[in-house]
Amino acid sequence: MWNASAMRFVIVSAITAVAVWLVTLLPLDVVVDGGETGTWARLGVYLLIGAVIALANMIVKPIVDVLTLPVKILTLGLFSLVVSWFMLWFAAWLTTLVPWAELSIGGFWPTLGAALLISIITAVLSAVVPGARKR
């Protein structure tokens, strides 16, 4: 019924949702709006935002990585932080198209820190959760 890549996407989306939830608890100007009607609705909003970020990372990020490769080489990889910020900004923009769930981000520096923390939390949880890593 479910193939391995679909199951991996669901797991990565849930892991990303947990990472976004943890970052919203910190004072980093990352706010998730929607789902105030109940716990399950709020959980659905976080899962939707996690799925948007996971989908953007699977489709758009490889293209952006290739396009920014010369700049990454010149900055010894530090430009990857800016790419992570861009992906978070892009996901926040995509969620504005959904009327019942929205990811709002603040200024550049707090959002850069949030993108870094989301990346770290996602990497750690992906290493721990079975089925989340690529093979």
Residue 135 lies in a domain: no
Q: What is the mean pLDDT of the chain?
A: 91
pLDDT tens for each residue of 95-127: 999 888 899 998 999 999 999 999 999 999 999
Domain of residue 26: give its range. 4-128
pLDDT in tens, 28-84: 889 998 888 888 989 999 999 999 999 999 999 999 999 999 999 999 999 999 999
Is residue 99, in this structure, part of any structural domain at all? yes
pLDDT at 135 over 70: no
pLDDT confidence of residue 38: 87
**Predicted structure pTM score:** 0.90
Instruction: Give domain status of residue 133, yes or no.
Output: no
Total domains, the chain: 1
Name, in order, each residue with C-beta under 8 angstroms of 130's C-beta and a sequence gap of 6 or more: none
Reported confidence tier of residue 1, pLDDT bands at 50, 70, 90: low
**Cβ atoms 92, 103 nearer than 8 A:** yes
Token pair listed for 116: 């870094």
